[in-house]
Amino acid sequence: MVDTQPVEPTPASANERIAFLVDVDNTLVDNDSAKEEIDRKMRLVLGDVETERFWEVYETVRSETGRVAVPQALVEYLRDLPPGTDPAAALDQHMALADALIGVPYANYVYPGAIDSLARLRKVGRVAILTEGDPAFQATKVARAHLADAVEGYVFVCPDKSAYLREVAAIFPADRMVLVEDKARNIDLAREIFTDLGVPFSGIFVRQGKYAAATAPDWHGAELTVESIGELAGMTPEAIVAALRSSIAPNEA
Ligand SMILES: [Mg+2]
C-alpha cells in the first residue's frame, strides 16, 4: 500500500551544504614571519641598501596593482640594477634572490593547528583554499606549504578574490558560503557579493597578522571570530554550524 501521507519537508537548514573558502596568507600561513626569513636571506645576498630597494619596488607594485605580486616586483627590481653591476655577479645575485623568494620552506610557517582545523571544517562541509596573488608564485607557495592535500586539492588562486567569487560559487556551490579570512574587508565584500547572488553567507574572522590588527573598528563583523586558526580544531562541528548560523557578532577590536 502506497503511503499518501504528505511527507513533512526537511528544513533546509538541517541538511544545509556548507562550503568554506579559506584564505592562505596570515590565515593558514604565517606570512609575516616567512617574509622576515626572506628579508634575512636577501640582506646576505644583496646587502642592506639593495634589500631596501627591493622592498620599495615590492611596495610600489603592491600599491599599483592592489595585491602582492612577487614575480612582477622581481622583474622591476632587476630592470633597474645599479649602473656598473658586473653581469656575472648580477646573474648570481638574481638566482640567489629568486631562491630567497620562492625557496622559503613555507611548510614551516603553517600556523599550529591549521591542518587540524581544515580537517575539522571538512566534517562540516566542503573546504577549498581561495587565495589571491600571482597565479604561478602563489600556487607554488601553497604547494610548498603542503596545504593542497588538506583540502583534497581544491585550491583556487585568483588575482582578485572579490572579482572571482561568482565563478568560485559556480564551480564550488553550496547552500551557505563561508569565507575564512584575516582581512575584515574581504569578509564585507564577500557578504555583499553572496547576498546579491542570493546565497546565505557567513564569515569566520581569524584575528592573526598585521591586517587583522589594523582592522577598522566599524566594520560589519563576522558570525565567528577566532584569535588563531588552530582554535577551529577545538570546536565541535555542531558548535561551528551554530556559530555560522548566528547573527553577526560585532568586532571587539
Ligand atoms: Mg590573508
User: What pLDDT is stored for residue 211 in this prediction?
Assistant: 75
Gap from CA of 24 to ligand 1 centroid (Å): 6
Gap from CA of 102 to ligand 1 centroid (Å): 18
Gap from CA of 217 to ligand 1 centroid (Å): 18
Annotate the chain with DSSP letters as a single string. Answer: ----SPPPPPPGGGG--EEEEE--BTTTB-HHHHHHHHHHHHHHHHHHHHHHHHHHHHHHHHHHHSS--HHHHHHHHHHTPPTT--HHHHHHHHHHHHHHHH-S-GGGGBPTTHHHHHHHHHTTSEEEEEEES-HHHHHHHHHHTT-GGGGTT-EEEES-HHHHHHHHHHHS--SEEEEEES-HHHHHHHHHHHHHHT--EEEEEE--HHHHHT--TTS--BSEEESSGGGGGGS-HHHHHHHHTSPPBPP--
Gap from CA of 3 to ligand 1 centroid (Å): 54
User: What pLDDT is stored for residue 10 in this prediction?
Assistant: 43
Gap from CA of 180 to ligand 1 centroid (Å): 9
Gap from CA of 99 to ligand 1 centroid (Å): 23
Gap from CA of 182 to ligand 1 centroid (Å): 5
Gap from CA of 155 to ligand 1 centroid (Å): 15
Gap from CA of 186 to ligand 1 centroid (Å): 9
Gap from CA of 172 to ligand 1 centroid (Å): 20
Give the pLDDT of the chain (253 residues) as one tens digit per residue. Answer: 445 555 444 444 567 899 999 999 999 999 999 999 999 999 998 899 999 999 999 999 989 887 778 999 999 999 988 788 888 888 888 999 999 999 999 999 999 999 999 999 999 999 999 999 888 899 999 999 999 999 999 999 998 888 899 999 999 999 999 999 999 999 999 999 999 999 999 999 999 887 777 777 778 889 999 999 999 999 999 999 999 999 876 654 4
pTM beyond 0.85: the answer is yes
